[in-house]
Structure 1
Amino acid sequence: MTAGIGATVDRRPSRVDDAYAAIKAAIFDGTFAPGYQASAQEIALRLGVSRTPVHEAVLKLQEEGLVRIVPKRGIVICALAPDDVREIYDVMIAIEGRAAELAAARPDADRAAATARLAAANGRMEAALAAGDIRAWGEADDVFHRALVESAANGRISRIARTVGDQMHRARMLTLHLRGNLGASSGEHAAIIAAIRAGDGAAADAAARRHRQRTQGELLPLLKAWGLKHL
């Protein structure tokens, strides 16, 4: 009897995690577009899961700013306005700059491992761009930036960055087809990698900030030019 109860408890977090991952993927790929509204039951039916894990997963997604639970209306996928995108970039500029600086201050072996992961992600970006696979490029870019934050080995920075970064990733993936200078990112990433590898915190901070500032400066005018008021 005890084993049966334990097995049930062990499976429950997995179901919630699966529902969380499925809903987030649907948000990121546009299946659940900004402004989409549904009940937990409707979402559960679309994803082929039960209602209870969906409800718990949605609570987590609401904390991350991806959905809102509206009384008597259900679950609404949050839309991002250009001002939201600007604020998100402002936060990530500060976080990633500091993360790069902290990464550069870590021991040699840690820096070597971190830069290897970053270089691998950057290489996947270059290969995806050469193949014309823009979505794969965006996914590899996301891996690079998440690895950069993790390389700081600061749990609080990582938790904040995950929440804000998920919102940024959605905006970035929805606008990839509008951007015309994707190739510049690989060179900027290489500068970040080189600074961390050399243990130069100031250079790593500056390189990370320059990169995000450039992409912010590129994306915001695009949103305005295309009249995109919500993402």
Structure 2
Amino acid sequence: MLETPKQKTITTQAMEKIRQLIFDGELAAGSDHLESELAGRLGMSRTPVREATLMLAQQGLLEVRPRKGVRIVTLSLKDMEEIYAVLTELESLAAEEAARRGYKDADLADLKKAIEAMEKALADEDREAWALADDAFHTELVRLGGNSRIQTIVAMMANQVRRARAMTLYIRPLPLKSNEDHRAVFDAIRKGDANLARERHHSHRQHAREVLIELLKKHKLFQL
């Protein structure tokens, strides 16, 4: 039976709430939860919660276990290294393709807006606002690349990166270099320099990976 728009909205709300509980660590990695427990926690019926868990399972955040509820997936450092390797290559290709498309300044307005939002967030030392703007930058960059398959793969893996970043957001230095990298990628795309756009984004993602993995190791936040 097809869901009504209202049901879809409730399912989406359930998915976002459960995902945030995972990112915040309130649903700890490796922990098990019954569908009824999650429904009670969210103040929702079990149907949208069930649909939400299936969607989150596709995103790799949890496992649905028939008659046993769900288990929050535990990621290893190897998982994160592999995820970053894929994201680095695909996003760098998207940056290259975006530069080749000859976008006008108006086409790049949302990318520029995300950079400005990150710069303001850093000036205010608002790490959560920076994280939201960082997400917006990477999502828009991939969209501008124009490859729908890259968008699908990156969207699936990006949740794992957000999860790790949420765990390290307040124990890392302010991401000043990250903002410099974003500005350099933007400038290369605006100038139509495809090789430079790819190189700068590739370097940016590699550095971000090194910072993240080192923090996860130092604070023993993930399995080895």
Please give the range of the TM-score, normalised by the shorter of the 2 chains.
over 0.9
The separation in 2 between residues aligned to 1:107 and 1:86, in whole angstroms, is 33
Q: Which amino acid aligns with 2:61?
A: L
The separation in 1 between residues aligned to 2:25 and 2:187, in whole angstroms, is 35
Structure 2: unaligned runs, 5 residues or longer:
none
Q: How big is the shift at 1:179?
A: 1.6
Residue 134 of structure 2 corresponds to 141
Candidates 201, 205, 208, aligned match of 1:215: 208
Q: How big is the shift at 1:33?
A: 2.5
The separation in 2 between residues aligned to 1:176 and 1:187, in whole angstroms, is 18
The separation in 1 between residues aligned to 2:102 and 2:187, in whole angstroms, is 15
The separation in 1 between residues aligned to 2:108 and 2:200, in whole angstroms, is 14
> Cα deviations across residues 127-180 of structure 1 (Å, max 9, x unaligned)?
112212112211211111111111112211111110101111111111122222
Superposed counterparts of 1:1-231, under 5 Å: 9-109=4-104, 112-230=105-223
> Cα deviations across residues 176-224 of structure 1 (Å, max 9, x unaligned)?
2222251111110001000100111111111110000011122212222
> Cα deviations across residues 11-66 of structure 1 (Å, max 9, x unaligned)?
22222222112212222233323223211111111111110111111111101100
The alignment covers a number of residue pairs equal to 224
Q: Which amino acid aligns with 1:191?
A: A
**3-state SS of the aligned residue for 2:50?**
helix
The question of whether the paired residues in 1 share the 8 Å contact of 2:74 and 2:222 is answered with no
Report the CA distance shift for 1:20/1:229 in structure 2 as closer, same or farther (over 3 A): closer
Q: Which amino acid aligns with 1:221?
A: E
Runs of 4 or more off by more than 4 Å in structure 1? none
The separation in 2 between residues aligned to 1:47 and 1:200, in whole angstroms, is 48
The separation in 2 between residues aligned to 1:201 and 1:75, in whole angstroms, is 44
> Cα deviations across residues 88-129 of structure 1 (Å, max 9, x unaligned)?
1101101110010111111433xx344321221111112112
The separation in 2 between residues aligned to 1:227 and 1:171, in whole angstroms, is 12
**3-state SS of the aligned residue for 2:158?**
helix
The separation in 1 between residues aligned to 2:172 and 2:107, in whole angstroms, is 28
Q: How big is the shift at 1:71?
A: 3.7
The question of whether the paired residues in 1 share the 8 Å contact of 2:122 and 2:174 is answered with no
The separation in 1 between residues aligned to 2:193 and 2:84, in whole angstroms, is 24
The separation in 2 between residues aligned to 1:183 and 1:173, in whole angstroms, is 17
TM-score for both structures, normalised by structure 2: 0.92
Q: Percent identity?
A: 39
